[in-house]
């Protein structure tokens, strides 16, 4: 076994690898860029080596720097994590030639499966079901349009070297194909240094299901069952679970057998994932194979009890796998929510900056569910523009899917972040939706359920009770702190403009009793004091956590995906509030605003130009993604506020219409 491993990665996955190495008694060396100096991973590693500036192309992607760091540290092996050099066969061969062990599959497997065009040919030869498409290289937009018509729209445009949801577009027409083909080639060249593109049929209302495989260097290969990854946004997975609620035992076995057959065809010898697109009828087709550890691997670990990082290390060290297929079984259900620094209320646009507050849920056994939180940042850390904006992978496990969903909803309640936009309210909304609870998923779920974007959810009657009781309790605490002599017990609580008459008292246990609409609500085990961002309590035997903030005239309260301004007022003051006119939002209909901080790639319009609805007016690059902004209505350009190459901030005016 190795005595020292170098981790050629950063953030959450570096922390994850360090934890397993510690458990195995292996020392760790971490390379880091300027942006990652002082990171949590740097703090946890036994040794650290600086390898350059913040951009990955000048640090984490430079093979010479990684090899030099191995030599300097005396490490015997390199774990690449995911992303960066993890699926680079040239890097794997370089390490092999240098006498350094690569903790991952052999270079032949990476080369065969890492290229999506080649992998589909291997899959077909191995008897794996494949999606209709064109696997050859496409040289021009005209050729792409011609092939798309032969396949039949809708068609997916994909970068051959793609990954992480980048370099993918769906075309529904010749116009979409012409625009999308160029955009995918540009993204692929920027993100992967390889602009090859291929086309395949887009399966309508599909599900994304993948099989985790694991092999050793002695020919042993097993399936660790399936994961459902259908909840996606812009082809980026957001919520994953294991196992899939779609599959029956026969389909699960068939997918597992095909995944093993494909892995065996390339002598696979590490952790890898065979991804399938599945129809609602349980038909399935090979999508691609990821020759690395997946972001969503924790849900598989939670239902199987297998540490995949440990098994990768043991396989790389030449050990024989310590279990067989018949030794593996599915235990319970697990869900993973990816917490990102992005603003769901602004189209999920990346949000960078300092993580001013970060309160995490308690990990481990919580009674009816178990919590695991894989995070690479701490309170006070900077969310950098140079890398993926992931904050954490929050996981829940339960004996049943219902228990896992309930556990995830509670764990999200117990997560508090401030300083950057984040998607916790959105993740909470999904957990509360009946469609998600029923398991009726597809890759279009987000678009189907939030066609006009995410605006939160209206509070349920139970959540209104939470808002009322929380506001009343906080008002009591603040009045007591201020020495309020009135000792008033009757109030009107406004949720927005909706009024509720309440009366407060205390029972024998000194719990707060709120009389509301001919019923009594009991609030107990209150954990809040002024300045705290979370209010924890038990309402009629149901524990909950709400996010709270004092406002000039009340409280801003959020519970899961519902939020409101809540005021505790005397009846006469409440009556006056209800008569006040509502504030009208500023009219920005004639402005095209930058949705995020980024770099202007192009603004293909000029002053005086007539623009039709749907035409491209600006292209902004951020987080390695090109964001195409289109006109929402016909108009004439009055002013252009930026040019190609300009850096822009969120809400900067790019184009103004007359």
Question: What amino acid positions are annotated as catalytic residues?
Answer: 288
Question: What are the structure tokens assigned to 644, written together?
Answer: 């190609």
Please tell me what DSSP assigns to residue 451. T
Beta bridge partners of 564: 557
Answer whether 653's CB lies under 8 Å from 641's CB. Answer: yes
Which of 5, 15, 48 is closest to 375 using CA atoms? 15
Query: What are the phi and psi torsion angles at 549 (to 5°)?
Result: -155, 135
C-alpha angle 38-42-45 in degrees, rounded to nearest 5: 155
Question: What are the structure tokens assigned to 421, written together?
Answer: 């936009």
Answer whether 239's CB lies under 8 Å from 395's CB. Answer: no
Q: How far apart are CA 177 and CA 251, in angstroms?
A: 34
Which of 424, 369, 442, 433 is closest to 401 using CA atoms? 369
Pairing outcome for strands 236-242 and 333-340: antiparallel
Q: How far apart are CA 235 and CA 361, in angstroms?
A: 28
Which alpha helices (DSSP H) does 1-158 contain, by range? 11-24, 40-44, 63-73, 89-97, 107-114, 116-125, 141-151
562 — alpha (psi -120 to 50), left (phi > 0) or beta? beta
Residue carrying structure tokens 């987000």: 446
Please tell me what DSSP assigns to residue 327. G
Which alpha helices (DSSP H) does 414-460 contain, by range? 424-432, 434-438, 445-449
């Amino acid at each position: 076994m190795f005595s020292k491993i170098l981790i050629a990665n950063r953030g959450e996955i570096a922390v994850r690898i360090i934890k397993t190495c510690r458990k195995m008694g292996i020392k760790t060396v971490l390379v880091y860029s300027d942006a990652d100096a002082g990171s949590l991973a740097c703090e946890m590693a036994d040794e650290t080596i600086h390898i350059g500036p913040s951009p990955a192309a000048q640090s984490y992607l430079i093979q010479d720097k990684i090899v030099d760091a191995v030599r300097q540290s005396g490490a015997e092996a390199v774990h690449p994590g995911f992303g960066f050099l993890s699926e680079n066969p040239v890097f794997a061969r370089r390490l092999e030639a240098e006498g350094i062990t690569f903790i991952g599959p052999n270079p032949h497997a990476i080369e065969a499966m890492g290229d999506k065009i080649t992998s589909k040919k291997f899959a077909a030869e191995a008897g794996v079901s494949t999606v209709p498409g064109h696997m050859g290289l496409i040289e021009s937009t005209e050729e792409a349009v011609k092939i798309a018509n032969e396949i039949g729209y809708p068609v997916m445009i994909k970068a051959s070297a793609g990954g992480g949801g980048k370099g993918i577009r769906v075309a529904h027409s010749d116009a979409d194909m012409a625009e999308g083909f160029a955009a995918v080639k540009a993204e692929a060249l920027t993100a992967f240094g390889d602009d090859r593109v291929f086309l395949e049929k887009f399966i309508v209302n599909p599900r994304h299901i993948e099989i985790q495989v694991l092999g050793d260097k002695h020919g042993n290969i097993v399936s660790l069952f399936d994961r459902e990854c259908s909840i996606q946004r812009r082809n980026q997975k957001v919520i994953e679970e294991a196992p899939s609620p779609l599959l029956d035992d026969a389909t699960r076995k068939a997918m597992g057998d095909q995944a093993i057959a494909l892995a065996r065809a390339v002598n696979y010898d590490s952790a890898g994932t065979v991804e399938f697109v599945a129809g609602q009828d349980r038909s399935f087709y090979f999508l691609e194979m990821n020759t690395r550890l997946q972001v969503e691997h924790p849900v598989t670990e939670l239902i199987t009890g297998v540490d995949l990082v440990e098994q990768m290390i043991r396989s790389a060290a030449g050990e024989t796998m310590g279990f067989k297929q018949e030794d593996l079984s599915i235990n319970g259900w697990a869900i993973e929510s990816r917490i990102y620094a992005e603003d769901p209320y602004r189209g999920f646009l990346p949000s960078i900056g300092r993580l001013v507050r970060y309160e995490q849920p308690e990990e481990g056994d919580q009674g009816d569910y178990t919590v695991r939180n894989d995070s690479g940042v701490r309170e006070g850390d900077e969310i950098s523009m140079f890398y993926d904006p992931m904050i954490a992978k929050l996981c829940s496990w339960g004996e049943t899917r219902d228990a896992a969903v309930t556990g995830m909803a509670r764990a999200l309640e117990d997560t508090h972040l401030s300083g950057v936009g984040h998607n916790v309210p959105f993740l909470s909304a999904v957990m509360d939706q009946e469609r998600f609870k029923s398991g009726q998923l597809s890759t279009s779920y987000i678009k189907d359920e939030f066609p006009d974007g995410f605006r939160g959810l209206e509070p349920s009657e139970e959540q209104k009770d939470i808002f009322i009781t929380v506001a009343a309790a906080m008002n009591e605490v603040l009045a007591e702190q201020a020495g309020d002599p009135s000792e008033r017990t009757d109030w009107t609580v406004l949720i927005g403009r909706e009024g509720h008459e309440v009366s407060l008292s205390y029972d024998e246990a000194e719990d707060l009793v709120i009389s509301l609409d001919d019923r009594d609500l009991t609030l107990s085990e209150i954990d809040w004091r002024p300045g705290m961002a979370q209010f924890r309590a038990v309402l009629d035997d149901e524990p909950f956590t709400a996010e709270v903030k004092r406002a000039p005239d009340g409280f801003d309260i959020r519970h899961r995906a519902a939020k409101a301004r809540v005021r505790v007022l005397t009846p006469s003051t409440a009556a006056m509030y209800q008569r006040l006119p509502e504030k009208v939002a500023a009219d920005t209909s004639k402005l095209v605003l930058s949705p995020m901080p980024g770099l202007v790639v192009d603004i293909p319009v000029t002053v005086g130009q007539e623009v039709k609805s749907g035409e491209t007016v600006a292209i902004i690059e951020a987080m390695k993604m090109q964001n195409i902004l289109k006109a929402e209505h016909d108009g004439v350009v009055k002013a252009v506020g930026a040019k190609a190459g300009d850096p822009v901030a969120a809400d900067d005016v790019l184009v103004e219409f007359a």
